[in-house]
Amino acid sequence: MKSFFKYLKNIRRNFFEFITDNPLDFFPIRKTVKEYKSHELKKDFKAGINVALLAFPQGMAYAAIAGLPIYYGIFGSAVAAIVGPLFSKSRFIILGPTNATSVLLFTSFLAMNVTESEKLFMLPFLIFLVGIFLVIGSFLKVANLIQYVSRSVVTGYITAAAFYIILNQLRKSLGIEFDLPEKTTFYTIIKLTLLNLTSLHIPSIILSLITVLLYMTINKNYKTLPNVAITLVCMSFITIGLNYILETYPSLNGESIRMLSAFSASDWHMVIPTIYHGWIRELSNIALVIAFLSILEGSSIGKSLAARSGERIDTNQEMMSMGMANIGCGFLGGMPASGSLTRSQLSWSSGAATPIASLISGFVCLAGAFTLGPFIKFIPLPVLAVVVIGIGISLINIHAIKIVTKTTQSDAIVFITTFISALLVSLDFAVILGTATSILLFLRKAASPELVEYSFTDEGELTALKSKQRPDPEISIVHVEGDLFFGATELFRDQMRRVVEDPNLKVVILKMRNAYHLDATSVFALEELIHYARENNRHLLISEARKNVIRVFKNSGLMEIIGRENIFPDVTQNPTKSTARALKRTQEILGDQQPKVSIYAKEK
């Protein structure tokens, strides 16, 4: 019983050491403000204004993607950009609504078949859950594990999300109106769009074409300008004129172009997320996937920009920042917040010096919400739909798709699995299935340890055995290369049993310098192998055992079963010395039967 409590005590100590190693910093903004330089303000102000000019129209677009009122995207952009930097040390990640989280929100609520009012009622609790998961994950250093998620999963997910964005906004740009049924899939949206082509709205199509031409022209000639905002303003004036013509001349038989709904920032208020027991299970699954995508998206953006700047970021600290931003959006209104690729790149290229740049952009967005809210009603719905379609097209990265489909067969399988399941089922399911597929394929590759039998040359050097005939049939030196975790144990045990079954064999020496990730399953396999060998009058020795291997042997009690005298630690300065000592031990075991091998050891 005492040993059990000691074991629990060790677990607790190791856990707290894990948590307190490189601890998170609460309100690192204090240090930023304390060390702030006057010349940094100019850089941050320029970057903040540029980002705000992009974030305001993007917020509207992302709200449209998610099927939410426009002001949710605007307030979400402002709140995330203000709350996030209070807990961030980095100038590289600008938080707010993104493509990935918006599409996932849209498809998730679509699958739940909830009404508009129910969706808005659930949203604060969902965002709050996302924030809680991210904050907890930051304390548990979950961001360190994100590097093990295959890029093929991310590419497959983003590509499918782009298709959802394009198709769902295409009907709005064509002026087609129809309600989406329960359990809507990508195929369902295609079918309904085709069936409703007879209700095309010609003025909306004309306006959409003009929008495409205008945006492409501005973007080609004036790339540094806030092109989305300029396009929306210009097209608003054109639409006012077009609607005037349609209303003045009824003979044209054209309905007026649909516009967005205005909003008043005075309606903005704090919301306490409502919690219903029935929601927790369903919304927790969605929140977990959104949190996973958020840190995956945010960390990849931050690391990329930091690497280009010759700096590093603390991904767990940024994960906490993201979590607190989502909690803020849950209480103050908004959408799930993640790291925005376009806004982060714009902030960095605009010369942002500190996280203060994000604060400035957030306050400018907030000011825009209070001053421009009533004028949103002049923005035509087809124009915003075209802007969103442009965002969707930009997400389809042909270069990335080519890499993940051509590099290896496993990458191609993961990409196709994620992409197809996203279109046929749902995006959140696709992320889980794609990640599981990538892990299974990795385990299949990793679970193949290489076992090579070794012998000594005439000069006394260890070398791989080139023929099946050993120089000394009584001794087998087996080099174990690779991972010996639970997935590889079965293969390792079967291969070693075949070696041990040789009737001439007396001693097996396992060279374990390059054996990694031993776990309980591999310990069980070694224990079974030892017992089997002894039952057949054979001996098992371990040579070149590194510290981590010896630690596993000690903790599991396997060292006592093998015998301390049969385990020979690795000697870094002389790789063959450990095996040479094992061969001396072999002579002791065989007694008068001298092994026909030369022992080579460079003594220090």
Instruction: Tell whether 356 and 493 lie within a shared domain.
Output: no
Averaged pLDDT, 514-523: 84
Which of 419, 158, 437, 146 minimizes the C-alpha distance to 296?
146
Q: Is 21 part of any domain?
A: no
Instruction: Tell whether 201 and 111 lie within a shared domain.
Output: yes
Listed residues 386, 408, 440: the one ending a domain:
440
Bin 113: left if φ > 0, else alpha if -120 < ψ < 50, else beta: left
Q: Is 10 part of any domain?
A: no
Q: Is 577 part of any domain?
A: yes
Q: Is 18 part of any domain?
A: no
Instruction: Tell whether 426 and 463 lie within a shared domain.
Output: no
Q: How confident is the model at residue 184 (pLDDT cuts 50, 70, 90)?
A: low
Overall domain count for the chain: 2
Instruction: Tell whether 406 and 491 lie within a shared domain.
Output: no
Against a cut of 0.75, is the pTM above it? no
Instruction: Tell whether 470 and 426 lie within a shared domain.
Output: no
CB 578 within 8 Å of CB 509: no
Q: Alpha helix locations (H) across 29-174?
A: 29-34, 38-66, 70-83, 99-112, 116-139, 151-173
CB 601 within 8 Å of CB 579: no
Instruction: Tell whether 202 and 283 lie within a shared domain.
Output: yes
DSSP bridge partners of 453: 478
- Give the structural domain span for 488: 450-590
Instruction: Tell whether 418 and 559 lie within a shared domain.
Output: no
Q: Is 24 part of any domain?
A: no
Instruction: Tell whether 534 and 416 lie within a shared domain.
Output: no
Q: What is the pLDDT of residues 209-261, one digit of tens each?
A: 999 999 889 888 887 777 888 888 899 899 888 888 878 777 655 678 888 88
Q: Is 544 part of any domain?
A: yes
| Distance, CA of 557 to CA of 569 (rounded, Å) | 17
Q: What is the pLDDT of residues 394-409, one digit of tens each?
A: 778 888 889 888 888 8
Instruction: Tell whether 575 and 550 lie within a shared domain.
Output: yes
Q: What is the pLDDT of residues 360-393, one digit of tens each?
A: 999 999 999 888 888 888 888 888 888 888 877 8
Instruction: Tell whether 119 and 142 lie within a shared domain.
Output: yes
Instruction: Tell whether 436 and 454 lie within a shared domain.
Output: no
Q: Look at residue 18 and tell me whether its pLDDT is greater than 50.
A: no
Listed residues 394, 410, 440: the one ending a domain:
440
Structure tokens at 155: 């590419």
Instruction: Tell whether 91 and 111 lie within a shared domain.
Output: yes
Q: Is 170 part of any domain?
A: yes
Listed residues 412, 440, 468: the one ending a domain:
440
DSSP bridge partners of 320: none
CB atoms within 10 A of CB 352: 28
Q: Is 19 part of any domain?
A: no
Q: What is the pLDDT of residues 328-350, one digit of tens each?
A: 999 988 899 998 877 888 888 88
Cβ-defined contacts of 465-472 (< 8 Å, 24+): 471/596, 471/597, 472/595, 472/596, 472/597
